[in-house]
Structure 1
């Protein structure tokens, strides 16, 4: 039996995994750390997937159909610190013992009722970044938005958002309800950057209408094409060119961006280092163009500036840039990124947000249909 104490672990929503088709089982028990009593009703799920369950009256849980590879198991109960741990399905323990510590709220965590008008303004800014402004954003709603709280840091010119319980998001365009456990959100107005992170559980919506099911599948394929998920899969399969990706070097000096004319070889920025492990390693930026799909018109609207006298009005192929916040970023053979917070996106991939999110087992579900 292996034991885990709850510790803080952040995982960016954009971390991905292309799970294999084989499946396994993870068993465990959830108990209170102080009393060693079982905790029933705990939410236990594989982060970023549709795979989840609840602990029973004795605190026991079973996660079935777990795909082969490295997965992150998350255990959450309201009123307790959450626990998360990685499992390599090549060496699964007989049982995982998860001990949760009761959560103590500090006085500064007690929220005073905000000014309604100020809250509305902050929420609209939050929604544009978190939900996004893409083709599926209008059909994506936060069902419990009143659980959101906002703080504005005057000195740093940042908007910070937080929620004590999960955000429940309904995406009627892709056919999912998403439980998003927000760990970090901020808009840096000075540096014009947005960051947020957390953990997600996907629950597929149900419909008896074939037309609705076909629409969901078509939209999911649209969201998948050209995504970082698609790019990573093509690199591991050595098919990035065939899949429509063109990669070049990008350098930046002051406010100018320079992109090389010639494409670059995959091994100059992405290498296989072990039988089941790969890594991104490069300096500056890589510029990734996806030739298989044009930008959505909403992207042009999102990047338009009121100070631009000649804004771009014609869509082009999707272009993104990637930089590393560490010397390298590793992933396994399923494209599971070990440290996703060390990847920084600009361009089209930064435009895609929660309304474009697919569960990490989407590729597996697609093949099973």
Structure 2
């Protein structure tokens, strides 16, 4: 793609300033106990728009009109997804039940003899090239938590599989995004030389060092957008393919030879239909193999070096549609079912390093809570240092659901029938990273530290005769509420507790 684009922030398309939004509200609960899950992550896949559930498992999300894959994640639970669009009637009552992961199956995978101990050293570069990509943007991408990746090689199948036990944290310094990619799996079949990865990315705008970097990022994003599948889907939706530089051809096979059929009317050939009630476009091509040519830019040198024989005057991608299966397109470029099409050529070469969120061009204009959620900050008086709610208060247990091995116990302050008693369970975090845990009048000292700049994970070392390590994840702190997932081991048994605390 072109490198010499002059970009002025003031010239953003008018569309970006007029995007209406719709509201998605819902509740996340445990599938078995039906109890609400506090601090569960809820985000629109491949966007910068996300939030976390409150103490009652409720969430509210504001999204620009269009379609999205809503992703719900929570430590120790299976990831769930829901497809939502601005035309859905049930957007104010989205109820999702999360199932706990089968620990036995996890243990089998972790202990499998197929895991490669020095996996990153053997396959790290290969993974980067086939997941992050080989484009110019990929050279400016960094994975910040390589330790979460586990590599498995299955000799009989000649198959490489890569799993992650936490979201892969990617910093894209070329486009100015940090990405938390919840990776389901990455597989590479050495027999067919085909790589496939699935997962759920959540974008976050990086802070620019100044106006010059803002302009540079804006230009790089526009360059990545030009000719992309996101650009194509939006152009198709708006019936502006030719104006935006796209051409469609059908690929036909005759006597084992392939030839391209030029189309006079793109929209008739695709059986383009606009549904005015849902504001979605339905396409069902007359031929299953469709060539997409983007003619406003040439193929970059890196692509031509890796793909001998590829055309250099334009960017060529091929989309294979399942026979008889239509594809629906939303106004923001989201399309489904995405598994019903196979992409090869230029679009397949571009990977995570060149991805843009579905709310691109709207991210700076749509005010939206990001993970993790925190209370609105108050502005202190001049010269007064603002108080951190975490260290300014004693925190009493308000609610806890404790899973210890196969046993589950529950506590809610003031409620009858509790199977755990945390009436006198208090935490105090000090600014010098020390603290006190008070339980039934007995006090225990501890040290604490955040694990990462987003302050959603914490390590606590309780100073027993034998130090006890407690990990807190999914941390959400507001002025009067602290919620988290507590992970630790007691007598060799794994313990997980989903807890909420309030100010004493």
Normalised to the residue count of structure 1, the TM-score between the two structures is 0.84
Residue 210 of structure 1 and its aligned partner are, at CA, apart by: 0.6
Aligned match of 1:293: 297
- Which stretches in structure 1 are left out of the alignment for 5+ residues? 1-17, 305-310
Aligned match of 2:110: 110
C-alpha distance after superposition, 1:86-133 (max 9, x if no partner): 233331443333222221221312246955555422222111110000
Do the aligned partners of residues 70 and 118 (structure 1) sit closer, same or farther apart at CA in structure 2, a change above 3 Å counting? Answer: closer
Do the aligned partners of residues 366 and 129 (structure 1) sit closer, same or farther apart at CA in structure 2, a change above 3 Å counting? Answer: same
Q: How many angstroms apart in 2 are the aligned matches of 1:71 and 1:80?
A: 22
Aligned match of 1:6: none
Contact 2:40 2:72 in 1 (8 A): yes
Residue 339 of structure 1 and its aligned partner are, at CA, apart by: 0.7
Aligned match of 2:8: none
Q: How many angstroms apart in 1 are the aligned matches of 2:366 and 2:167?
A: 30
Q: How many angstroms apart in 1 are the aligned matches of 2:257 and 2:160?
A: 28
Asked if 1:31 is matched to 2:29, the reply is yes
Secondary structure of residue in 2 paired with 1:58: coil
Q: How many angstroms apart in 1 are the aligned matches of 2:255 and 2:124?
A: 33
Contact 1:288 1:319 in 2 (8 A): yes
Q: How many angstroms apart in 1 are the aligned matches of 2:365 and 2:208?
A: 20
Aligned match of 2:184: 183
Do the aligned partners of residues 111 and 296 (structure 1) sit closer, same or farther apart at CA in structure 2, a change above 3 Å counting? Answer: farther
Q: How many angstroms apart in 2 are the aligned matches of 1:110 and 1:350?
A: 31
Secondary structure of residue in 2 paired with 1:362: coil
Normalised to the residue count of structure 2, the TM-score between the two structures is 0.63
Residue 358 of structure 1 and its aligned partner are, at CA, apart by: 0.2
Residue 31 of structure 1 and its aligned partner are, at CA, apart by: 2.2
Q: How many angstroms apart in 2 are the aligned matches of 1:36 and 1:325?
A: 39
Aligned match of 1:251: 252
Q: How many angstroms apart in 2 are the aligned matches of 1:270 and 1:189?
A: 38
Q: How many angstroms apart in 2 are the aligned matches of 1:255 and 1:156?
A: 30
Asked if 1:78 is matched to 2:75, the reply is yes
**Superposition CA RMSD, Å:** 2.7
Between 1 and 2, higher relative CO (CA 8 Å, sep ≥ 6) is seen in: 1
Q: Where do residues 159-198 of structure 1 align in structure 2 (5 Å cutoff)? A: 159-198=160-199
Name the stretch that deviates more: 161-170 or 217-226: 161-170
Q: Where do residues 1-369 of structure 1 align in structure 2 (5 Å cutoff)? A: 21-64=19-62, 66-90=63-87, 91-105=89-103, 106=105, 107-111=107-111, 115=116, 117-251=118-252, 257-260=258-261, 262-266=262-266, 267-272=268-273, 274-275=275-276, 276-304=280-308, 315-334=312-331, 335-365=333-363
Name the stretch that deviates more: 292-301 or 111-120: 111-120
More helix by share: 1
Q: How many angstroms apart in 2 are the aligned matches of 1:173 and 1:325?
A: 35
Name the stretch that deviates more: 266-275 or 195-204: 266-275
Residue 355 of structure 1 and its aligned partner are, at CA, apart by: 0.2
Do the aligned partners of residues 108 and 23 (structure 1) sit closer, same or farther apart at CA in structure 2, a change above 3 Å counting? Answer: same
Secondary structure of residue in 1 paired with 2:223: helix
Q: How many angstroms apart in 2 are the aligned matches of 1:279 and 1:80?
A: 36
Contact 2:162 2:187 in 1 (8 A): yes
Secondary structure of residue in 1 paired with 2:232: helix
Contact 1:248 1:264 in 2 (8 A): no
Name the stretch that deviates more: 347-356 or 96-105: 96-105
Do the aligned partners of residues 367 and 95 (structure 1) sit closer, same or farther apart at CA in structure 2, a change above 3 Å counting? Answer: closer
Contact 2:160 2:187 in 1 (8 A): yes
> Across the two proteins, how many residue pairs are aligned to each other?
343
Q: How many angstroms apart in 2 are the aligned matches of 1:130 and 1:255?
A: 33
Do the aligned partners of residues 367 and 97 (structure 1) sit closer, same or farther apart at CA in structure 2, a change above 3 Å counting? Answer: closer
Contact 1:137 1:355 in 2 (8 A): yes
Q: How many angstroms apart in 2 are the aligned matches of 1:191 and 1:250?
A: 23
Aligned match of 2:399: none
